[in-house]
Structure 1
Amino acid sequence: MADLPAAQDRSSELQQQVQAAFAVQHPLAIQGSGSRAGFGLSPSRQYLQQQPLAVAAHRGVIDYQPDELVIRARAGTRLVELEHLLASHGQRFAADIPVPSAESTLGGAVASGWDGPGRSLGVSLRDTVLGCRLINGRGDIVHFGGQVMKNVAGYDLSRLQVGALGTLGVILDVALRLAPLPETQVSRCFAVQPDEVDSWWRRSKELRPLLSASCYHRGRLQLRLSGRTAALEDLLPALGGEASDFDWQALRNLRGDFFNGRQLACLYVPPRSRVDIEQGEVLLDWEGARLWVKDGDHQQLQHTAKAANGFLRVLRGDGAAPLLPAEHWHRRLRGALDPAGILNPAIFREQFTAAGGR
C-alpha cells in the first residue's frame, strides 16, 4: 500500500467540545478548510456569533481496501492526498467530486454535496457514500451504514449527510465506494449552434458508457470519453470532431475565468429541458440539466427555474445562501439528531429565512 496521509484522530477532543456546547446550549460553527466559502456556503456575518468547531485537523485514512474498492477516511483528510493514494492503485472516487483547492477536505465535500460534470453520466456523491461516523448534537458518536453496498430500509442517514452542511451532525469519517481509473481518456470538441444542442444531448445516449462528461459553452460542445483504449479507437473515427485540451478539472473544481464573476448562479432543470436565459453568460453541463449563469439577473433566473420545474442555487452575488433539503423533513431530522439546534444553526436559519420562514 502507498504511504497514507499523516493521521490525527481528534474524535475525543471534538466530542468533548460538542458535549460542552450542548450542556450550555451554545451554538457551534463547524469549520473545515474554508475552500468552499466563496461559493455561497458560508452564512452572512450577522449569524457568525458562534463558537468555532475546527475539524480540519481530524485527518488520515482509517482503512483502504483496493480489492474491495472501498476507502474510509477522516473528515479533515485532503482530497488531493486521497486522489494521489487512489491513483497509485489505479483507482479513483466513483463519484466526480469537486476539489476547489489543495486544502479541500473529504468532510467538506460530503457536507456541501457538490457533484462535478460527470454526474449525469455516472453516479452522484450521495450514491457512493457507504457509511459514516459522526457526532450528533448531544455529543454522542454514532455510526450509520458500513463498508459494503446493501439495500436499506427507511432513511439512509449516512447519505443524508451529503449536502446537509453539518446541520445533521459533525462528520468524523466517511466510507466511499471507488472505481478503476479508465485505461484511456480523450476529449473531442464540436462547433454546435444553440438550436442544435438538444439533438446532441439525445445523440449522447449512443456514446454511453464511453461518454463520461459533456459541456457546452460559447458555441463549442466538449465531450470527454473514457474507457478501454480499443473501444475508443473504434469510436473516434466515426464520431469526428477535433481533439481538445479542455480542462475538465477546472470545470469540476469551479476554477477559471467563467467562475470568477461577481454574480454566479446555477439552475437545475429536468434533462434536455429547453431553457432560455436572457441575461448573463451561460455554460451547460449534465447534458443540459445544469446551467451555470455568470452575471445574470438572479430574480429573473428564479422565475425561469420555476417555470422549467427546476430550482436555482445562487453561489455568489445577490441572494447567495446555503442550499439545504426541504425544510419540513429536515427540521424533523434535526430534532432527532440535534435537539438543541447547536450545530451550524446559522446556516439553517439563513436558509429558512430566505425561503420565507421566520
Structure 2
Amino acid sequence: MQVMDSANRPIKDISERIRAAAGDKTPLRICGGGSKDFYGLRLQGEPLSTLALKGIVSYEPSELVITALAGTPLLELQALLASQGQCLAFEPPHFGAASTVGGMVAAGLSGPSRANVGAVRDFVLGLEMINGQGELLRYGGQVMKNVAGYDVSRLMAGSWGTLGVITEVSLKVLPVAPAEATLRFDSCSQHQALDWLNHWGGQPLPLNASNWLEEDGKGTLYLRLRGARAAVQAAALRLGGERLDSDTNLDALAADWSASRDLRLPWFEQRAPDHCLWRLFIPAATAPLPLPPEARGPFIDWHGAQRWVQAPRSSAAALQKLAHEAGGSASLFRAESPYQISATSDFDIYAQSSAAGRTSALLHARLKQAFDPAGILNVGRLSAKW
C-alpha cells in the first residue's frame, strides 16, 4: 500500500539549516513531539523541528514492513497497523500523545515485551538521515538481509539525535498474537519472583512480559503470556497464579500494561518530591540488590533485567556502584521535577571509569566526530564532552 510520495518532503530546508549552523558552529536541538525532553544531561541549541516530516511513505502488510517519516505521530502509525492486525512488537513507550516515529528510534526505548521480542533497533530495517554536515544519507532498506559492513541504521537507535536528524524509518512489524493471558501471583517475594522468572525463561513458554512490585509490604508478580492459543492456555494452566483476563477485564488489563510501558502505574506516580527515578539495567539472573535505605523499590520488569528505583539524587554513587558490581549500569531516568532534565553529569561514572567504559566512550566520540564534526547536534544530551 503506497500512502504518499516520499520525495515530497521538506528535506532541503533542514539540510540548509544544518549546513548554515555547522558553518558558524551554532548548536541545534532536534525537536519532535517533545515527549522525551525530560531525559538527558541538558537541552541546548536552537530548535530544529521534524514535525513537517509527517506521513506514511509505504505500508505492505503482506511483507510486514512499514516506512514512515520521522515526524509521524506514533499513535497514528500504530492505529494503521492495528487496522491490519499488526503491531510494533517491542511496545515503544510514548510518554505522551505527541510521541513521533523518529523520536521512538532516536530514544531507542522499548516496552514490557523487550526481553521476549527484542529492542527497537532489532526492528529497524533502514532509515534516512541528515548528518551534521547537512548531507542526506540512506542506510539499510526494507528487508532483513541488506547489511554489508557497519549497520548504521540500527546504530541510530538510542543515539538521541547526537549523530544526525532521522527523516524516514523502515520498520519490521509483526502480526498481533492470537492469544494473550495475564497471571497474578500474590504474596511473592522479590527473590521468589526472580527465581521463577529465570527458571521459566529457560523453558519453551510464551513468556512475553512481567512486572514485580512490593506494596504495603507484600510482593506481587504479574506475568503476561502471548502466542498461539494452545500454547498460552497450556502455559497458564501449568504456571498457576490467578488468571486476570476475563472478558470484562480485557480493556483494563491492556490499559495497565500500557501504563507499565509509559511508567504511569501508581508505583511510578506516587514518587516522593525529592526522589528521582533511576533505571538499573543488569543481568536478569542478578539476585535482589541491597538498595540504599533511602531508596524505594525496586519495580522489576524485563524478567529481572530492568529494575526501577526511586531515590534522591545523592544516591547516585551507591546505585551506580551496585549496578556496576552486578555487571550492568544505572542512570537517572527522571528528575525530581517534571520541569527538570534528568541529569547534571555523565550518566554512569562507574561504567566510564572501567576499561570497557573508556573504550565505549572513545567509540562514541569517534562516531560523533564522523557524523557531526562541527559538534552542533543535540549538544550535551548524552555527554558533557560533546
Do both share a fold (TM > 0.5)? yes
Give the structure 1 partner of residue 352 of structure 2.
none
Identity in percent: 38
Q: Confirm whether residue 277 of structure 1 aligns to residue 295 of structure 2.
A: no
Give the structure 1 partner of residue 194 of structure 2.
198
Aligned partner letter, 2:291: I
**Using the alignment, how far apart are the partners of 1:349 and 1:277 within structure 2?**
26
Where in structure 2 are the equivalents of 1:149-164 lying within 5 Å?
Answer: 149-150=144-145, 152-164=147-159
Quote the RMSD (CA, aligned, Å). 2.4
Where in structure 2 are the equivalents of 1:246-265 lying within 5 Å?
Answer: 246=253, 247-260=256-269, 261=271, 262-265=275-278
Give the structure 1 partner of residue 369 of structure 2.
335
**Using the alignment, how far apart are the partners of 1:311 and 1:112 within structure 2?**
17
Query: Using a 3 Å threshold, how does the CA distance of structure 1 residues 335 and 2 change in structure 2: closer, same or farther?
Result: closer
Query: Offset of 1:42 from its aligned partner?
Result: 6.0
**Using the alignment, how far apart are the partners of 2:8 and 2:31 within structure 1?**
17
TM-score (norm 1): 0.89
Give the structure 2 partner of residue 41 of structure 1.
40
Give the structure 2 partner of residue 320 of structure 1.
343
**Using the alignment, how far apart are the partners of 2:290 and 2:20 within structure 1?**
52
Q: Confirm whether residue 239 of structure 1 aligns to residue 239 of structure 2.
A: yes
202-211 or 161-170: which moved more? 202-211
Query: Offset of 1:183 from its aligned partner?
Result: 1.2
Aligned partner letter, 2:199: R
List runs of 5+ in structure 2 lacking aligned partners: 245-251, 337-341, 349-356
Aligned partner letter, 1:24: D
Q: Confirm whether residue 56 of structure 1 aligns to residue 51 of structure 2.
A: yes
237-246 or 29-38: which moved more? 237-246
SS in 2 for 1:312: strand
> Does structure 1 conserve the Cα–Cα contact (< 8 Å) formed by 2:162 and 2:377?
yes
Give the structure 1 partner of residue 125 of structure 2.
130
Query: Using a 3 Å threshold, how does the CA distance of structure 1 residues 42 and 30 change in structure 2: closer, same or farther?
Result: farther
TM-score (norm 2): 0.83
Q: Confirm whether residue 212 of structure 1 aligns to residue 208 of structure 2.
A: yes
**Using the alignment, how far apart are the partners of 1:2 and 1:89 within structure 2?**
15
- For 1:104, which of 68, 81, 99 is the aligned residue? 99
SS in 2 for 1:167: coil
Aligned partner letter, 1:265: W
Query: Using a 3 Å threshold, how does the CA distance of structure 1 residues 348 and 123 change in structure 2: closer, same or farther?
Result: closer
Query: Offset of 1:259 from its aligned partner?
Result: 2.5
SS in 2 for 1:114: coil
Give the structure 2 partner of residue 356 of structure 1.
none
Q: Confirm whether residue 306 of structure 1 aligns to residue 324 of structure 2.
A: yes
Query: Offset of 1:329 from its aligned partner?
Result: 0.7
Query: Offset of 1:17 from its aligned partner?
Result: 1.1
Q: How many residues align?
A: 346
Aligned partner letter, 1:233: Q
Query: Using a 3 Å threshold, how does the CA distance of structure 1 residues 238 and 60 change in structure 2: closer, same or farther?
Result: same
Aligned partner letter, 1:26: T
**Using the alignment, how far apart are the partners of 1:206 and 1:51 within structure 2?**
49
Query: Using a 3 Å threshold, how does the CA distance of structure 1 residues 231 and 2 change in structure 2: closer, same or farther?
Result: farther
